[in-house]
Amino acid sequence: MKVKIKRLDPSVELPQYQTAESAAFDIAANEDATISPKEIKLIKTGLIIEAPHGHFLLIASRSSTPVKKGLSVPQAIGIVDRDFSGPTDEVRLQLFNFTEQPVMIKKGERLAQGMFLAVDHIEWEEVDQIREQSRGGFGSTGGLNG
């Protein structure tokens, strides 16, 4: 699959798969920054990425980022819609510092990973009844309550 990408800074490396069987490609910061304790900050990537038709770009934290940096993506994932790919639509990494210390980020640090997923648009079918039985509450299959 070919994906359109524009570098806003010629020194930015294109996202790369780190192994032949990696599911996602790494995305790096394009700036030095400091994230204060308990702060959420948007970090520039220097990239505009246009997802292929029928797809969106999913961004998640690299598995090592919380352990090594004390940073996480605050909503667990980021979704970049295909139409967020105009001349000023730079992909940014939304990161949360969950530590008690400032966290320094260096340009070129790989902090997130991305993958393209297919989009299925649905139609709502409004009904008067759904099903006869309810499954149970939160954690009912053996989690918190069972």
pLDDT tens per residue across span 30-45: 999 999 999 999 999 9
pLDDT for res 140: 64
Topology classification of domain 4-12+25-118: Deoxyuridine 5'-Triphosphate Nucleotidohydrolase; Chain A (2.70.40)
CA–CA dist 82, 58 (Å, integer): 11
pLDDT for res 108: 96
Q: How far from 56 is each of 42, 50, 75, 78, CA to CA, in Å?
A: 19, 8, 17, 10
pLDDT for res 6: 98
CA–CA dist 7, 23 (Å, integer): 23
**Minimal CA–CA distance to 97: which of 75, 78, 69?**
69
Confidence of residue 134 (pLDDT cuts 50, 70, 90): confident
For the entire predicted model, the pTM comes to 0.85
Confidence of residue 115 (pLDDT cuts 50, 70, 90): very high
Q: Is 64 helix (H, G, I), strand (E, B) or coil?
A: helix
End-to-end CA distance of the chain: 45
pLDDT for res 137: 73
pLDDT tens per residue across span 99-114: 999 999 999 999 999 9
Confidence of residue 54 (pLDDT cuts 50, 70, 90): very high
CA–CA dist 124, 115 (Å, integer): 27
